[in-house]
Amino acid sequence: MIRHLFTLIWNRKRSNFLLISEILLSFFVLFVVSSLLVSSYYNYRQPAGFAYDNVWEVNVAPGQDTANRKEMMQLMLQRLQATPGVVAVTRTSSNTPFAFSSMNTNEFYYQKKQGPSTDRYDADDDMQKVLRQNVVAGRWFERRDDASTRRPVVVNQEFAKAMFGSESAVGKVLTNDKGVASWQVVGVVEAYRRGSDFDGNNPAIFERRVLEGPDHLDPNDRPVLLVRVQPGSGAVLEQRLVKEIQAVTKGWHAIVNTLDESRHDKMKIVLTPLVALGVVSLFLIINVALGLFGVLWYNINQRRAEIGLRRALGATGAGIGGQFLGEMLVVTTLGVLAGVVLAAQFPLLGVFGVPTPVYVLAILLAAVLIYVLTAICAFQPSRIAAGIQPAVSLREE
């Protein structure tokens, strides 16, 4: 039976070649779309690495007087920490969770091995209390780090894997390209996907910066605070925090926003291209379906004499319908196999930079969609072919 189907396909190789090319192109486009969608879903299922609920972001705009800025910052943090309803306060850089700003670097070296492109964050001893990162090895920053001869850093597992492989990251010393600066890893957190729910777990490093240390405060810098509050806190506590800041700093202004609100705003922006991608994919599927349906309908009309002759020789309607459906599935298999060979190059070349299981799932999803699509499109034309009566088709000829 299979040999007979291949013979029939070969006899109409020109039209079937065009059909295989259409299926190949459709499979490839569906594979690309599936890769992006599966990758987004895969990232969505991964742990964020921090808790954003009940965390507020406070953006502070300092006044013109910068003479005692560090002292004002210290006093402001102390007053906020003592405010009823506040659990913990941390000062950090502008690349907070779900923010649109970022800080990247690849200046870290370990035994002359350059590190990957890494997201860099400023952190203090209280950040872990606010964001509740899951420390899987070592520890978070502590007061004892004040006496450290090297600047302490905390990395995530993705950075540790890329830089140190299977070795333990805790205690390792990092340097810059000239070897004049050094950092020591004191802890490893599970993950830190701060961009959005669909972002991957990129290498990340947290560098300890405390007001009590020698850090220089840029006069143009706008301090960013993250405040963990008691569950159920609302506008009353928000107004109180703003008043506390204004009372301490005499002229500084503050804007409060919750990380949950920032997450929803970021989700709207991130979901827009994904929805557009889904619409394009649906449009493609509809066009492929119409094209396949039209080609199969045309083939049946062109082969009415062949169908009539087979029916006259004793072929059943179910046999005729099964033949057309089988031909379509064989043609689909040839197109899918060619598409799989092409798609298999993506994980080898790391085109999208996603894990190999994502490519495998995308290939399977694209293949299933193509097979379901062709089976649906071939079903009705096959029924039409099965219903052709031999006397009618032979009389037409």
C-alpha span between 119 and 288 (Å, rounded): 42
Is this model's pTM higher than 0.75 or not?
yes
- SS3 assignment for 300-348: HHHCHHHHHHHHHCCCCHHHHHHHHHHHHHHHHHHHHHHHHHHHCHHHH
C-alpha span between 71 and 17 (Å, rounded): 76
Q: What is the pLDDT along the chain (397 residues), one digit of tens a residue?
A: 556 555 655 556 666 777 778 788 888 888 888 888 888 888 888 889 999 999 999 998 876 655 577 778 888 888 899 999 999 999 988 899 998 888 888 888 888 888 889 999 999 999 999 999 999 999 999 999 988 889 999 999 999 999 999 899 999 999 988 878 899 999 999 999 998 888 888 999 999 987 655 554 555 567 889 999 999 888 899 999 988 888 887 778 888 999 999 999 998 888 888 788 778 778 877 877 777 777 777 776 666 666 666 666 666 666 666 777 777 778 888 888 988 988 888 887 777 777 888 888 999 998 998 888 888 777 776 666 666 665 555 554 5
- Which parts of the chain fold into alpha helices (H)? 2-11, 13-45, 69-81, 127-131, 157-164, 235-249, 259-302, 304-312, 317-343, 345-349, 356-386, 390-396
Amino acid identity for residue 88 in this structure: A
Other residues' Cβ atoms within 10 Å of the Cβ of residue 371: 17
